[in-house]
Structure 1
Amino acid sequence: MIADHGLIGDLQTAALVSADGTVDWFCCPRFDSPSVFGSLLDHEQGGHCRIRPVTGDYRVRQLYLPDTAVLITRFMTESGTGELVDFMPPAPLTRATGNHRLVRMLRCVRGQIDFDVEVAPRFDYGRLLHRTHLTDDGVVFDSGTLTLTLHAVREPGDTRLAAVRVGDDNAVRGRIALNAGEVRGFVLESDADGPPRTIRPAEIEDLYHETVRFWRTWLAKSTYRGRWQETLHRSALTLKLLTYAPTGAMVAAPTAGLPEQIGGLRNWDYRYTWVRDASFAVYSLLSMGFTEEAADFARWLAGRYQERPGELRIMYRVDGSADLTEQTLEHWEGYRGSWPVRIGNEAAGQLQLDIYGELLDSVHHAHQHGLPIAHQGWEALSGVLDWLGDNWDQPEEGIWETRGGRADFTYGRLMSWVAFDRGIRLSEALRRPGQSGRWRVHRDRIYRQIWDRGWHPGRRAFVQRYDSDVLDSSLLRMAQVGFVSARDPKWFATLTAMEEDLVVDSLVYRYDPSAAPDGLRGSEGTFSLCTFAYVNALAMAGYVDKARLVFEKMLTYSTHLGLYAEEIGPTGEQLGNFPQAFTHLSLIDAAITLGNALDGIAPQWT
């Protein structure tokens, strides 16, 4: 199951570890690199790294070491209890590297326990063959373009790894026997500088303590002291794990191809950085006190609008490049048969007007928190707004990246209004030159247009598209961005209409695909981002008790580790790519808004 996974990473790439001790998703050397382990999407051809007790009769529990990204999987058998401790020591924070370490430390905490080990990499999404070299100190898996070295963790002279063997499939299998107090395991290292070597248990424990210290030092920067501190801290750690440190970019998720509907077609690659997500990240992390990370994201955003003043792409690779050609992995079956499995993302070429509002809103918010805007940056932002002035009044694909053709989406117009509004405010606050008069004309035209065409008298609600009666939960942000008063009668009516059409047991759908065809067959689950946006809207509108109930119920849908995918299915299962940055960003926003409302602090738009 998607939910049965924990996330570990080193701030350049990440891996998913299932509750049965299997690394079944790992791309190297970057988030968006081809996979080395991918059995999450194809059990036979994907590749995996599995550690589990020899006996089939055991219980398993999984947790994060508190305030860290160190994952502990506990196996309890009749003969003893063992712990599998998975982590990745942080990679260099300022430069890209091909050298990454995935540590799998085993320790016996009670009695005696034997583990079976199987390491079966499949390079380049299983498309590239490799050779396996076994030595006295470990193993080298060599694909010709990437090597993965297994270093054994043991005391010198320990012969209990003698059972290691190489199979016909070039996988390595072995067995590790442990008594109480003993530590063993191995380190998987990409592009290692030298042959495999034996690593002493004391050395690996030192590496463990260094990694723990790194994460706890980072998390200590949080200024959030509200009701849901543990939950928000886990979300913050997850967002940090999804960050590519050399550039400050955050991927939408570390996975590709996980379905929004089991057996359906909506299986996208999310290992890229959306302008929208990065903009939200600036706001959310500043609200928790993580100013350095917010500044990094802001710089990454600045790099995108400065390198191409005017029109922006909606998403980029973590290094800022824009080659996201979409292709299908024909040889992979997909998660639980959900095919096609896609890598790359064709939506990168879409026109989505809302990204300009999210960008300017984040820049405005960052300015309010003391982050500077240099001359070059302001000139580029002015160019973005000038381009938007010529292009906002046209059909587009919209926030949900539909593939059914362009339309006049109300949310795109709303966020275009935000872009001009924030640009005007920044120009005045910074006393910088700009076409503020022209921007003001555009802002006011959009405002009137939305009230004239985005409000549907029959539905008594703001609707997804002009000349349509379909509702869309993206518009739950209308009061948050200051377009409409949170206590406006028409806003109350919109919330009521959305509750009737899009809310089921407190969970919120994006829209109804049967009422608004989006170019794809099938359906999807409720969208977790939208549920948290609903909490935010309810709290701002004064429905604080309802907002709290929706929020608390939503917390029950998290995984055992406090993580969320993109969607929640009909039976409560996690669907879509996992974990999803957007969901955790919106969780943070909802918790802070709701907490303020419970404390009697008046709501404010961003």
Structure 2
Amino acid sequence: MSAPIEDYALLSNCRTAALVSREGSVDWFCAPRFDSASVFGALLGEAEQGCWRLRPHDEAARATRRYDGDTFVLITRWETPSGVAEVHDLLPVDGGRVDLVRRVVGVSGEVEFTTHLRIRFDYARALPWVRQMGDLTAPALHATAGPDALVVRGVALAPHGHAHRGRLTVAAGETRDLTATWFPSYAPTPEPLDVDAALAETRDWWTQWAASIAHDGPHRDEVVRSLLVLRALSHQDTGGIVAAVTTSLPEQFGGARNWDYRYVWLRDAALTLEALVNHGFLDVAESWRLWLLRAVAGDPAEMQIMYGIAGERDLAERELTSLPGYQGAAPVRVGNGAVDQYQADVVGEVMVALEAARVAGLPDEPFSWALQRALLDGVAANLDRPDNGIWEIRGEPRLFTQSRVMMWAAFDRGVRAVEEHGLDGPVDRWRMLRDHLRDEILARGVDATGGYFIQHYDSHEVDASLLVLPQVGFCAPDDPRMLATVAEIERQLMGTGLVDRYRTASGVDGLAGTEHPFLACSFWLVEQYASSGRVADAEKLMDLACLAHNDVGLLSEEFDPVAGRQVGNTPQAFSHLALVRAADALHGHSGRAAHRR
């Protein structure tokens, strides 16, 4: 059975990722991209779905782990009765190859390790043809199935059923390097990796990137790690920013709310972009803007709410029977049916993020501004169209208040671009549409009795997404309607101390079952508290939400405060970017658009 979600640490080379458990097992690894088929898929099943386990032979060994400073080099320290040793795991960056490195370092005494390797390409649907290569001094195992090949070096491996096992021993001062290199099966087998050089280059790459982070306020360690995670989810070549590195980790254990998050949601990517821009990373903004131009090229009216990492459009959702699911949560899905949804807030998020880049000093190019104008035409053409909302409901489309506000924000940023930055456009029309939306929202999006903003028109429910209204400048954090909304959120959505997205019992999402508090929503409320003067409440909730971190600073999508378990896909960009904004608010940065109010 796969480990608890919080037991996994992330390795990333900014092209793909691997997840390593506390027990030293690589249970998730897709190659060569985040959204490729898995090579190791035990995360969504059992060991037979593919894994690479490396740990001391002595089952009594105790492990502690950490990242090597501000990097994604994972150091697991094993203490045994016979000695102490470390395993340094990494995916080398900027090498033009896909290597998974597991360096074993003797610290004291002598430690015997065992390794268990089970390769299962194509989401465990392809049992590879395996052959031994090399010799006793340089053993290698070569596995091939269809388009995929993997060569594993550094330890002699003997067959054991449809798996391979091996042993190695390190004494104090000794080092053994184990590597697994993915490559296309039609290509020549890559030469052995220079592990010393790859390790040094990877450490330097991450450390230099992190050194540019400017944040000396509260929760600095969490902010730095969160920004590192956001960079780890950004594809080095294409500029696409994935929402998470996993698929089908459940929102309800044993349930069917299991989705594939290894794609680029325009909303999530725009919010990630904004968090990075606010901390000085304009190069990421420029790379993503170019990605956006490529992805939406042609007719912006055909814009999707999500794309593949290189801008692919065909993300049809399908179910896999080869992976039984995380601890039995089925089905496992690849692709995402939300690709066909209309989500009216998305253009607003893109416009807000691109304005943040513009204000930070990234000038608009003719093509990028032409795209933004075309996107605003699309918003105007769909002005009265119900949508599926920020939470991608699979029930009846509605006029969601948050979606309407983000449409307002889209036109607002268009007006500001002309008035404040000298760009061209039909500013009078945009201003008219912006003001029309504002009047409509205040007339139809506020509960007549309670005076709070509502989830969608004609409802009495609240929704945590309403916390973004002051963030984008629609109203002040201390607007009476906003304060009433917060009070209603506290009453309806905080039964566990953290914030739920909405009441699933209302049936608005069209899905069976329930879910757990969505971590980004709690961080949004921290930002709201801090911006409206409730600093003590903000600090208290921030401390509580940060308890959802695992031991190496990673956040999943949701958290079960009762069981103390992470829930949903991991690591989740939405959770980490919301944490960064919450910490900024506690540091005195009063929201995404304080200057717009």
* Counterpart pick for 1:399 among 384, 390, 406: 390
Q: Name the structure 1 match of 2:128.
A: 130
Percent identity between matched residues is 39
CA distance in structure 2 between the partners assigned to 1:196 and 1:287 by the alignment: 40
In 2, are the aligned partners of 1:10 and 1:89 still within 8 Å (CA)?
yes
Q: Name the structure 2 match of 1:84.
A: 87
Shift of 1:241: 1.1
1:584 aligned onto 2:584: no
CA distance in structure 2 between the partners assigned to 1:207 and 1:602 by the alignment: 42
Distance 1:246 1:206, change over 3 A: closer
1:496 aligned onto 2:487: yes
Deviations 1:216-250 (A, max 9, x none): 11111112222222111111111111111111111
CA distance in structure 2 between the partners assigned to 1:430 and 1:303 by the alignment: 24
Give the gaps of 5 or more residues in structure 2: none
Deviations 1:63-84 (A, max 9, x none): 1111111001111110011111
Aligned residues: CA RMSD: 1.9
Distance 1:455 1:558, change over 3 A: same
User: For residue 158 of structure 2, what is the amino acid of its counterpart?
Assistant: R
Q: Name the structure 2 match of 1:156.
A: none
Q: Name the structure 2 match of 1:173.
A: 165
* Counterpart pick for 1:450 among 433, 441, 448: 441
Q: After the TM superposition, which residues 197-208 of structure 1 pair with which residues of structure 2 at under 5 Å, given as runs?
A: 203-208=194-199
Q: Name the structure 1 match of 2:349.
A: 358
CA distance in structure 2 between the partners assigned to 1:603 and 1:435 by the alignment: 25
1:9 aligned onto 2:12: yes
Shift of 1:305: 3.9
Count of equivalent residues? 587
Deviations 1:250-299 (A, max 9, x none): 10000001000101111000000000011112210011122212222232
Shift of 1:196: 7.5
Secondary structure of the residue aligned to 2:456 is coil
Shift of 1:198: 6.5
Distance 1:371 1:306, change over 3 A: farther
CA distance in structure 2 between the partners assigned to 1:460 and 1:283 by the alignment: 31
In 1, are the aligned partners of 2:295 and 2:312 still within 8 Å (CA)?
no
User: For residue 566 of structure 1, what is the amino acid of its counterpart?
Assistant: E
CA distance in structure 1 between the partners assigned to 2:48 and 2:340 by the alignment: 31
Q: After the TM superposition, which residues 244-323 of structure 1 pair with which residues of structure 2 at under 5 Å, given as runs?
A: 244-323=235-314
1:185 aligned onto 2:188: no
In 1, are the aligned partners of 2:343 and 2:389 still within 8 Å (CA)?
yes
Q: After the TM superposition, which residues 92-111 of structure 1 pair with which residues of structure 2 at under 5 Å, given as runs?
A: 99-111=97-109
User: For residue 582 of structure 1, what is the amino acid of its counterpart?
Assistant: F
User: For residue 125 of structure 2, what is the amino acid of its counterpart?
Assistant: R
Q: Name the structure 2 match of 1:241.
A: 232
* Counterpart pick for 2:146 among 139, 144, 147: 144
Segment drifting more, 116-125 vs 455-464: 455-464
In 2, are the aligned partners of 1:506 and 1:531 still within 8 Å (CA)?
no
* TM-score, scaled to structure 1: 0.94
* Counterpart pick for 2:503 among 512, 517, 531: 512
1:349 aligned onto 2:332: no
CA distance in structure 1 between the partners assigned to 2:504 and 2:46 by the alignment: 31
Q: Name the structure 2 match of 1:37.
A: 40
Deviations 1:307-337 (A, max 9, x none): 4323421100010011101111123221111
CA distance in structure 2 between the partners assigned to 1:348 and 1:496 by the alignment: 34
Secondary structure of the residue aligned to 1:184 is strand
In 1, are the aligned partners of 2:28 and 2:42 still within 8 Å (CA)?
yes
Distance 1:312 1:197, change over 3 A: closer
Q: After the TM superposition, which residues 452-601 of structure 1 pair with which residues of structure 2 at under 5 Å, given as runs?
A: 452-569=443-560, 570-596=562-588
Deviations 1:416-463 (A, max 9, x none): 000000011102223333121111111111101111111002233111
User: For residue 146 of structure 1, what is the amino acid of its counterpart?
Assistant: D
CA distance in structure 2 between the partners assigned to 1:363 and 1:526 by the alignment: 30
User: For residue 396 of structure 1, what is the amino acid of its counterpart?
Assistant: D
Distance 1:415 1:272, change over 3 A: same
Q: Name the structure 2 match of 1:420.
A: 411
Q: Name the structure 1 match of 2:421.
A: 430
Give the gaps of 5 or more residues in structure 1: 153-160
Secondary structure of the residue aligned to 2:450 is coil
1:381 aligned onto 2:372: yes
Secondary structure of the residue aligned to 1:55 is coil
Distance 1:195 1:364, change over 3 A: closer
Secondary structure of the residue aligned to 1:384 is helix
Distance 1:196 1:32, change over 3 A: closer
CA distance in structure 1 between the partners assigned to 2:461 and 2:295 by the alignment: 34
User: For residue 465 of structure 1, what is the amino acid of its counterpart?
Assistant: H
CA distance in structure 2 between the partners assigned to 1:230 and 1:488 by the alignment: 33
Deviations 1:147-171 (A, max 9, x none): 101121xxxxxxxx55x312331x2
Secondary structure of the residue aligned to 2:505 is coil
Distance 1:264 1:602, change over 3 A: closer
Q: After the TM superposition, which residues 206-245 of structure 1 pair with which residues of structure 2 at under 5 Å, given as runs?
A: 206-245=197-236
Shift of 1:597: 6.2
CA distance in structure 1 between the partners assigned to 2:176 and 2:27 by the alignment: 21
Secondary structure of the residue aligned to 1:367 is helix
* TM-score, scaled to structure 2: 0.95
User: For residue 166 of structure 1, what is the amino acid of its counterpart?
Assistant: P
CA distance in structure 1 between the partners assigned to 2:108 and 2:512 by the alignment: 52
* Counterpart pick for 2:65 among 50, 59, 62: 62
Distance 1:131 1:74, change over 3 A: same
Shift of 1:176: 0.5
Shift of 1:365: 1.0
User: For residue 389 of structure 1, what is the amino acid of its counterpart?
Assistant: A
Shift of 1:409: 0.7
Deviations 1:56-102 (A, max 9, x none): 1111111111111100111111001111110011135xxxx6x3011
User: For residue 141 of structure 2, what is the amino acid of its counterpart?
Assistant: V
CA distance in structure 2 between the partners assigned to 1:261 and 1:391 by the alignment: 34
Shift of 1:414: 0.6
Shift of 1:172: 1.9
CA distance in structure 2 between the partners assigned to 1:244 and 1:471 by the alignment: 36
Secondary structure of the residue aligned to 2:436 is helix
Shift of 1:603: 5.2
Q: Name the structure 2 match of 1:155.
A: none
In 1, are the aligned partners of 2:99 and 2:180 still within 8 Å (CA)?
yes
Deviations 1:551-583 (A, max 9, x none): 112112210111100001132210000000111
In 1, are the aligned partners of 2:471 and 2:593 still within 8 Å (CA)?
no
In 2, are the aligned partners of 1:396 and 1:408 still within 8 Å (CA)?
yes
User: For residue 525 of structure 2, what is the amino acid of its counterpart?
Assistant: Y
